[in-house]
Amino acid sequence: MSVTGRPAKPVRGTVVERLGGLARRRPAAEREASVVEVTDKSPPTVFQAGESFRLERLPVGSRVVYPPPPMKGLADVESGIAAALDAPHEMDPLDSLLRPGMRLTIAFDDLSVPLPPMQLPDVRQRVIEQVLERAYRAGVEDIHLIAALAIHRRMTPAELRRTVGSAVFDAFHPDRLYNHDAEDPDGNVELGPTSDGEPVTLNRRAAESDLLVYVHVITATLQGGKKSPAIGLGSYRSISAHHNVHSLRHSRSFMDPEHSALHHSAFRQGDVVEAAVPVFHVEATLNNQMYADPLGFLAKPEARWSGREQAIFAGVKRLTDRAPARTRRTLFQRTASPYGVIGVSAGAADAAHEVSLDLCAAQQSVLVRGQADIVTAGIPYISPYNVNSIMNPVLVMSTALGYFFNLYQGKPLVRPGGVLIFTHPVERDFHPVHHPSYIDFYEEVLAETTDPAEVERRFERSYAEDEWYRHLFRTSYAYHGAHPFYMWYWGAHALEHVGEVIFVGGHPEACRRMGFRRADTMRDALEMAEQVVGRSPSLTHFHCPPLFYCEVE
């Protein structure tokens, strides 16, 4: 697999050609402006803290790593999709794969990507509409659409409608547009073990199809590729083969598929799936334009804000400081981002995914020289698992130590034994419908131990096989009983790597239960961190979101 920084395999296809060979460069090295040093005259730095913002003064000499500005999206997304379907990588054009009487299944990523949800029309809708149009033209009648949930919660009809569009929803729901059920004993088939003995399960409809079209939305290098059908349409048993403490501790990092044990295992499962059923992948890569106008400036360095932008920020901050928590949550959860589609690639898994990885690198990678003793970051209000829901303490942990910590290639941004300081209220607040097993995980498991290996050994099986959680997962809108465990393992590598984790403004009880420290102010947190890493520490602030990753030398 080719990633920027290494000699790229020759890639072909309209998107890369349109980019004029950008993928062959090393964009991270050209991003010096994204790393800003704090001086005496620097303004305070904005930290997200759940559904509010904090302005914090960082020590002079600290580095702030900002996300690269959003790349321009395709002017004509429809044509981009059509071109990708007509000239796929290492596969025949989609039209030539479709024939009357065939069984066609279209699977698509669920609502965990992108974050926040994108403004309508969703790119999945655009791709699915074009695939359906071609299928109709070719005389295909047996078509099913499946939301590839893995062991996430089921999508509600409204969420499905939002994702695939009203026309498709009205034509297919509920009998031919539905959620994958990872716990359905009759709805899944075993495809046999991989070369390393990992079990592979696939949705029965997908496995028995003549062609599976998988629609990916790529916002990070973690996503996409041939692992997606194996995970998204898999079962608890097949997913647990790589979502375990050992794999996640040896994934350095999830954002670097080449060095990720998680990816290696899932790719092996993907190979088994691809051998069993032909899969036509369509990957749409988005830029990082997370903030809609007039809040677009939030992704810029604070020193570059105009007077008007400062006034808007002040208004927003005062509003979020004063609004009741419920109002704030509703407001934030309703926001949708004006992402641009920067590329669409289709065809065989590896070749199509390689284009997406190059596009991701072009959009997101920032070169950072050297690790830091202390890394700070603001945790936002959303993670992949609380769309239209509540960010509970376990999700805060997985976002901070699972996602934010792992947004690197090469080495982690923080040195071994260093300190991570996050801003988030870490409220002990759970969505009773979406996260029932999280509540028990928090109350029962974390009261006993926070060691991921012990958690896995002692508790995971009983939660995964609990009939009540299984019932809620299959019939309600609950995450799988084992899901909170995976969230905890997600941070296993970080827990092993860092010396201390401090949440500024975090709820004392919740932080204590998860084994973290908390402070009221950033200055207190820095003083606490100094006790761990020594005097005059180096500090880097990871100014995420919008999403990006660091290539650390």
Partner 1 sequence: MRFAAGGRALERLAGAGGKPGRATRVPARWRTVASGIDPWSEGVEVPDQAWLRRPGPALAREALQQTVLFPVTRFVAHPRVIGAADLMHVPQPAVLAPNHASDMDTPLVLAALPRAWRTRTVIGAASDRFYRRRRYAVAAGLWINTVPFDRGGESRGLADAAELLREGWNVLLYPQGTRTSGMEGFRSGVARLCVAAGVPLIPVHVGGTALLMPKGRGVIQRGKTTVAFGRPVYPSPDEDPLDLMARAAEAVAALAASSAR
DSSP string, 398-459: IIIIIIITT-EEES-SEEEEEEEEEE--------TTT-HHHHHIIIIIHHH---HHHHHHHH
Cis status, amide bond into 67, omega within 30 of 0? no
Structure tokens at 553: 């030398």
Q: Answer yes or no whether residue 57 interacts with partner 1 by CB under 8 A.
A: yes
- Stretch of 175-183, 194-202, 306-314, 438-446 contacting partner 1, by CB under 8 A: 306-314
- Stretch of 10-18, 117-125, 321-329, 388-396 contacting partner 1, by CB under 8 A: 321-329
Q: Answer yes or no whether residue 55 interacts with partner 1 by CB under 8 A.
A: yes
Residue number, 54 or 124, with CB nearest to partner 1: 54
Pick from 9, 32, 33, 44 the residue near partner 1 by CB under 8 A: 44
CB of 61 to partner 1, least distance (A): 8
Q: Answer yes or no whether residue 278 interacts with partner 1 by CB under 8 A.
A: no
Structure tokens at 480: 């799988």
CB of 504 to partner 1, least distance (A): 8
Contact 299, 547 (CB under 8 A): no
Q: How far apart are CA 499 and CA 414, in angstroms?
A: 10
CB of 499 to partner 1, least distance (A): 19
Pick from 317, 428, 461, 513 the residue near partner 1 by CB under 8 A: 317
**End-to-end CA distance of the chain, in Å?**
21
- Stretch of 48-56, 129-137, 189-197, 453-461 contacting partner 1, by CB under 8 A: 48-56
| Site track 382-421 with partner 1 (rule: CB under 8 A), x = hit | ----------------------------------------
CA distances (Å), 120 to each of 132, 165, 172, 284, 341, in order? 19, 9, 19, 15, 12
CB of 222 to partner 1, least distance (A): 31
DSSP lists the bridge partners of residue 517 as 502
Q: How far apart are CA 287 and CA 302, in angstroms?
A: 21
Q: Answer yes or no whether residue 158 interacts with partner 1 by CB under 8 A.
A: no
Looking at residue 257, the DSSP 8-state letter turns out to be G
Task: Give, as ranges, the residues between 434 and 493 that touch partner 1 (CB under 8 A).
Answer: none
- Stretch of 1-9, 44-52, 208-216, 356-364 contacting partner 1, by CB under 8 A: 44-52
Structure tokens at 453: 């290996």
Among the listed residues 64, 49, 66, the one whose alpha carbon sits nearest the alpha carbon of residue 503: 49
Q: How far apart are CA 444 and CA 449, in angstroms?
A: 9
Q: Answer yes or no whether residue 116 interacts with partner 1 by CB under 8 A.
A: no
Using a CB cutoff of 8 Å and minimum separation of 24, what contacts does 187-190 make? 188/234, 188/235
Among the listed residues 322, 104, 74, 313, the one whose alpha carbon sits nearest the alpha carbon of residue 214: 104
CB of 59 to partner 1, least distance (A): 5
Residue number, 275 or 319, with CB nearest to partner 1: 319
Structure tokens at 300: 């810029």
Structure tokens at 219: 């916002």
Looking at residue 483, the DSSP 8-state letter turns out to be H
Pick from 320, 333, 376, 399 the residue near partner 1 by CB under 8 A: 320
Binders of partner 1: how many residues, by CB under 8 A?
38
Residues contacting residue 83 through CB under 8 Å, at least 6 positions apart: 14, 15, 344
Pick from 1, 9, 17, 39 the residue near partner 1 by CB under 8 A: 39
| Site track 485-524 with partner 1 (rule: CB under 8 A), x = hit | --------------------x--------------xx-x-
Place of tokens 């034509």: 171
CB of 404 to partner 1, least distance (A): 20
Structure tokens at 1: 């697999």
Residue number, 105 or 423, with CB nearest to partner 1: 423
Q: Answer yes or no whether residue 40 interacts with partner 1 by CB under 8 A.
A: yes
Instruction: Name the site residues for partner 1 (rule: CB under 8 A).
Output: 38-45, 49, 52-55, 57-60, 302-303, 305, 310-311, 313-314, 317-318, 320-322, 325, 425, 505, 520-521, 523, 526, 530, 536
